[in-house]
Structure 1
Amino acid sequence: MKKLMNDPERIVSSFLDGLVAANGTLIQRLEGTDVIVRRSSPPQKVGLVSGGGSGHEPAHAGYVGKGMLDAAVAGEVFTSPGADQFFAAIQAADQGEGVLLLIKNYNGDVMNGEMAQEMAEAEGIKTEMVIINDDVAVNDPDQRRGIAGTVLVQKITGALAETGASLQDAKRIAEKTVSRVRSMSVALTPCTLPAVAQPSFDLAEDEMEVGIGIHGERGMDRREVASSEKTAQLLLESVLKEIPSAAPLALLINGMGSTPLMEQHVFANDVIKQLDRDIQHTYVGDYMTSLDMAGVSLTLLAVDDELSSYLQAPVHTVQWTQC
C-alpha cells in the first residue's frame, strides 16, 4: 500500500482550514463545524446552502461567496454530512428571508437535509429544498444522481438570490434550471480512496467506464478506450436526447480530478464541433471532481434569456470570479 502524505482521518478538516487560510477575505469556517460561510452577505437576502461528501473539490466550498452560495457543508470523503452540520449551515445562512437547500440526489444528503429542515422549521427558519438529478446515465429520473450540472444550478440560483429575490422565487429558478440541465461522465481511471489508498474499482489500461458517478461508482457500461472525438459523440448522444432541439445551450466540460486542461480543451473542441447548436456559454475546467479520477463529464443546459442573464451575472468565490 502506498504511504499517504496526509492523515485520512483529518484530511477534510485540514483542507477546510487551508482553504480559509488562503482565502480568508472571502470565506470563514463556522467554529466547531465543517461548514464554510461567506465573510459578508447583503442584508435580508435569502440564504443558499449546499454540500455533501468531500472529494469533489472545488465543490462545494469553492462556490461560497457573492453570487453563489452562502454556506457549504463538507462531509467526510464521499460521505454525507450529518443533519446537525446542515442545520448549522442553515442557521448561518439565514437572515430572516429563509434558506434554500440545493442538494444532490444521494440518499444520505437528501435524508440529512430533510432532517435539518425539520430542525430549522422548529426554530422558526423557513426552508425549501431543491434536489438536483442531472445524470442521464441512470434511466429512472427519481434515482438520477446530481453531478456537475449542480454547479450551474448554484450559479443561476445564487445570482437571483443576490438581487433580493424571495425564497419561493429562488426555489422556482432552481427547479427550472434542474429541469433543463443534463450531464454524463466517463472515467479513464478510477479514483483512489484516501482511507484505504486503493482504487474504487478495477479498470484495465485499455478500458474506460461510461456513466460513472462522482463517488467512485462503477458506470453503466465498460468499453475499450475511445478517442476524444468518439467519446464526445458517445456522451452527446445520451445527453442530447433530453435537451430541446431548438434551445440555445450552456456547455460545461468538467474534469474529474486529474485530467489535464489540455485534454479537457481538446474534448471541448470535439464536443463543440459535433453539437452544431447555438452555444451561448462555455465553461471548461475542474468544477465537480472525484478525487484523482481521470475522465470528463459533459453538461448541457437549455438556456433562455432569464437563465442566460443569471449565468452572466457577477460572482466572486474562491473558484469562480466573474465581473
Structure 2
Amino acid sequence: MKKFLNSAESFVADSLAGLAAAHPALRVQAEGPDGPFVARRAATQPGKVALVSGGGYGHEPLHGGFVGVGMLDAACPGEVFTSPVPGQILAAAQAVDGGAGVVFVVKNYTGDVLNFQMAAELAAEDTGVAVETVLVDDDVAVRDSTWTAGRRGTGATVFVEKIAGALAERGESLADVADMGRRVNANSRSFAVALTACTTPANGKPGFLLPEDEMEVGVGIHGEPGRSREKLASAREVAALALDAILAEPLFGAQGERQDGVEVIAMVSGLGATPLSELYILFHEASRLLAERDISIVRSLVGNYVTSLDMAGASFTLCRADDELLELWDAPVNTPALRWGL
C-alpha cells in the first residue's frame, strides 16, 4: 500500500485538519469524547434551518466538502467507512441550530440510520432542538444488502444537500426544507461500476479481489458487491449498463421508450482513482444514450463528488428535474467542492 499518511490511526484527524487549513470559512470542532465535526465558521443566522449530514470517512468531498453557504451547516465524519456516533451528531446539531430546527440528511446504511435516529431522539428529549430526517436511498443496484435494509444511499446525497440547502438559505420552514429533500431523493436514482477495489489505511490491502479483465457492476461505495461481476467493457457499454438500470425505474417512464420533455440533472462521479478524462468519456456516452430517449440533461456535474477512497470506477446519478428544482440548483453555493453564483 502506498498512501500519503502520517499513520493509519491519525488519517481522519490529519485530513480534517488539512480541510480546515485550506478553507478558512470552515472549522473542525474536535472537543469532547464523541468525535469531531466540520461546521461553517460563521454562526447560523437566527431563524435559518440548519442542515447536518455525515457518514464514514473515505467518500470525500462527501460530506465535509459540502459544508458552506447554500449546502450543509455541519458534517459529522466517522472513522473510515464507519458511522458517526450519536453524541457527535447531537453536538453538531446543537452547534449549528439557529432556532428553526435541523434537517439530518442520512444515507441509507444501517449504522448511519440508527445513529442519526438516536441523535434525533436525544435532541428532542434533552435539548429542545427540532429535527427532521431525510433518508437518501437512490442506488438501484440492489434492494437489500448486508449493509442496508432497502436501497443504499449514494450520489443523490449531493443533490439533496444542494437543493434542500438552497431552500434553507431562503429562510423556509423546517418542514418545507425536509419535504424538499425527500422530493429530491424520490426524483433521483444512481448506479455504480468499479474496476478496482479500494484500500483502507488500516487494512493495507484491497477490500476484494477483482481480476484485471473484470468489473463489479452495481458496486456500493464501501466496496459492497453489486449485481454481478462481468468482463471489462467499453465506456459506451458501461454507460449503457448503468443507464438501463436507472431508466428501468418508473420515475423516468416506460423502460426503453422515448420520453417527451423529461429533463434531468446528471452526475458522473469518480470513485476516487478514475481520471477526469475517463469520466468525461463516460459522460459523453451517457448524454448520447439519454438523447436517444429524448431525455435532456439540463444541469451536470462531472468529477469526484462521492468517492470510495482509491477505488477506480464511476457512479451515475440522474435527478428528474422541474423548474423549481432547477431554480434551487442554480442558487448560489460556496463550499470546498461546489461553488457558483457568488
SS at match of 1:113: helix
Give the 5 Å matches for 1:247-266: 247-266=262-281
* Aligned residue number for residue 5 of structure 2: 5
Amino acid at match of 1:186: V
Task: Give the deviation of 1:6 after TM superposition.
Answer: 2.9
After the TM superposition, which of the residue ranges 205-214 and 244-253 deviates more from structure 2?
Answer: 244-253
Is 1:134 matched up with 2:142? no
SS at match of 1:143: coil
Q: How many residues align?
A: 322
Conservation of the 8 A alpha-carbon contact between 2:50 and 2:97 = yes
Give the unaligned 5+ runs of structure 2. Answer: 254-259
Task: Give the deviation of 1:139 after TM superposition.
Answer: 2.9
Cα 1:202/1:179, change in 2 over 3 Å: same
Is 1:153 matched up with 2:160? yes
Cα 1:152/1:68, change in 2 over 3 Å: same
Amino acid at match of 1:37: A
1:104 to 94, 104, 107: 107
For 2:87 and 2:12, the matched residues in 1 are separated by 17
For 2:316 and 2:194, the matched residues in 1 are separated by 12
* Aligned residue number for residue 30 of structure 1: 29
Task: Give the deviation of 1:142 after TM superposition.
Answer: 5.0
CA RMSD of aligned residues (A): 1.4
Conservation of the 8 A alpha-carbon contact between 2:106 and 2:135 = yes
For 1:31 and 1:85, the matched residues in 2 are separated by 10
* Aligned residue number for residue 274 of structure 1: 289
Q: If the length of structure 2 is used for normalisation, what is the TM-score?
A: 0.92
Is 1:301 matched up with 2:304? no
* Aligned residue number for residue 203 of structure 1: 210
Identity %: 47
Q: If the length of structure 1 is used for normalisation, what is the TM-score?
A: 0.97
Conservation of the 8 A alpha-carbon contact between 1:259 and 1:294 = yes
SS at match of 2:319: strand
Amino acid at match of 2:23: N
* Aligned residue number for residue 256 of structure 2: none
For 2:86 and 2:282, the matched residues in 1 are separated by 39
Task: Give the deviation of 1:290 after TM superposition.
Answer: 0.1
Give the 5 Å matches for 1:35-184: 35-40=37-42, 41-122=44-125, 123-139=127-143, 143-184=150-191
Amino acid at match of 2:49: V
SS at match of 1:253: strand
For 2:72 and 2:5, the matched residues in 1 are separated by 31
For residues 182-236 of structure 1, give each alpha carbon's deviation from its aligned partner in whole angstroms, at most 9, with x where no partner exists.
Answer: 0000000000111011101100000000011111212220000000001011111
Task: Give the deviation of 1:4 after TM superposition.
Answer: 6.9
Conservation of the 8 A alpha-carbon contact between 1:190 and 1:202 = yes
For 1:266 and 1:172, the matched residues in 2 are separated by 35
Task: Give the deviation of 1:57 after TM superposition.
Answer: 0.5
Conservation of the 8 A alpha-carbon contact between 2:5 and 2:11 = no
Conservation of the 8 A alpha-carbon contact between 1:200 and 1:217 = no
After the TM superposition, which of the residue ranges 306-315 and 237-246 deviates more from structure 2?
Answer: 237-246
